[in-house]
Chain A
Amino acid sequence: MLLNRDMRDPALTQRLLLSMLALMLAWPIGHVAGVNPAALVEPANLRVVSSFVAGFWPLAHDSFFLGLLGDAVLQTLAIATVGTLLALLIAIPLAIGSTAALSVTAIGPSPSGLWRPALRQVLRALTLLLRGVPELVWALLFVRVFGLGPSAAVLALALTYGGMLAKVFGEILDSADRRPAKAILAAGGSRLDALMYGLLPVAAAELLSYTVYRWECALRAAVVMGLVGAGGLGQLMDQSMKAFNGGEIASILTAFLLLVLFADALSGLLRRWMANTRKDGRWRALNGWAFGLIAALACLASWRHIGLDLGALFGDRAGSDIARFLREFLPPAHDATLLAKIGSGAVETLATSLVGTALAALVGIALALPAAGRTGAVAKTLTRFVLNLLRAVPELVWATITVLAAGLGPFAGALALALHTGGVLGRLYAEALENAPPAAEAALKLSGAPRALAFLYGALPEVAPQWLAYTLYRWEINIRMAAVMGFVGAGGLGQLLYYELSLFRLDNACSVICAMLALALVVDQVSAILRRKMG
Chain B
Amino acid sequence: MLTHFRRHALRGLAAFAFASLALPAFAQMKELKVSAIPDEAPTELQRKFAPLGKYLEKEIGMPVSFVPVTDYAGVVEALAAKRIDMAWLGGFTFVQAKLRTGGTAIPLVQRAEDEKFTSRFITADPAIKSFADLKGKTFAFGSPSSTSGHLMPRYFLMQAGLTPEKDFKTVAFSGAHDATVAFVASGRADAGVLNASVWDKLVESGKVDTSKVRVFTTTPAYFDYNWTVRGDLDPAVVKKLRDAFLKLDPTNPEHKEIMALQRATRFVPTKPENYHSIEQAAHAAGLLR
Contact = CB atoms under 8 A, between A and B. Distances in A.
Interface of A: 44-45, 47-48, 52, 85, 143-145, 147-148, 200-202, 204-205, 208, 228-229, 235, 238-239, 242-244, 274, 277-279, 281, 284-285, 287-293, 295-297, 299-300, 303-304, 307, 309-311, 317, 321, 403-404, 407-409, 489, 491, 495, 498-499, 501-505
CB-CB nearest 3 A-B residue pairs: A288-B8, A292-B12, A296-B19
Contacts of B281: none
B287 A407 contact: no
Contact of A307 (B26, B173, B176): B26
Nearest to B72: A502
A238 B76 CA distance: 21
Contact of B15 (A144, A296, A321): A296
Contacts of A242: 41, 174-176, 178-179, 182
Given A243-B41, A499-B144, A505-B289, A208 B1 contact: no
B14 A292 contact: yes
A284 B41 contact: no
Given A147-B78, A242-B176, A48 B9 contact: no
A310 B20 CA distance: 13
A124 B13 CA distance: 25
Interface in B81-139: 81-83, 96, 99-100, 138
A235 B83 CA distance: 21
9 contacts: A48-B187, A85-B20, A145-B77, A208-B13, A228-B71, A244-B182, A278-B2, A304-B24, A311-B26
Contacts of A307: 26
A376 to B, nearest CB: 40
B25 interface: yes
B6 interface: yes
Contacts of A495: 173
B178 to A, nearest CB: 7
Given A229-B70, A310-B23, 11 more contacts: A145-B77, A202-B6, A204-B6, A204-B10, A205-B5, A229-B74, A277-B8, A285-B8, A288-B5, A303-B24, A504-B96
Interface residues of B, number: 65
B197 to A, nearest CB: 18
A144 B8 contact: no
Contacts of A274: 5, 9
B186 A404 contact: yes
A242 B41 CA distance: 8
Given A296-B16, A504-B73, A321 B81 contact: yes
B173 A201 contact: no
Contact of A205 (B9, B99, B140, B174): B9
A409 B186 contact: no
B143 interface: yes
Contacts of A290: 12
A180 to B, nearest CB: 10
A420 B13 CA distance: 34
Name, among B16, B19, B176, the residue most crowded by chain A CB atoms within 10 Å (CB to CB).
Answer: B16
A255 B285 CA distance: 44
B226 to A, nearest CB: 19
Contact of B100 (A295, A403, A504): A504
A502 B129 CA distance: 31
Given A311-B26, A407-B138, A288 B81 contact: no
B12 A293 contact: yes
Given A48-B187, A504-B96, A144 B9 contact: no
Name, among B20, B144, B178, the residue most crowded by chain A CB atoms within 10 Å (CB to CB).
Answer: B20
A408 B13 contact: no
B174 A499 contact: no
Nearest to A311: B25
Contacts of B170: 407-409, 491
Given A244-B182, A408-B172, A502-B72, A299 B16 contact: yes
Contact of A503 (B1, B83, B287): B287
A295 B20 CA distance: 9
A52 B170 CA distance: 22
A281 B4 contact: yes
B182 A201 contact: no
A489 B173 contact: yes
Contact of B188 (A47, A288, A311, A403): A403
A501 B143 CA distance: 12
Contacts of A208: 9, 13
A502 B73 contact: yes
B11 interface: yes
Interface in B262-289: 287-289
Contact of A408 (B12, B73, B189): B189
Contacts of A317: 81-82
Contacts of A489: 172-174
A239 B138 contact: no
Nearest to A82: B20
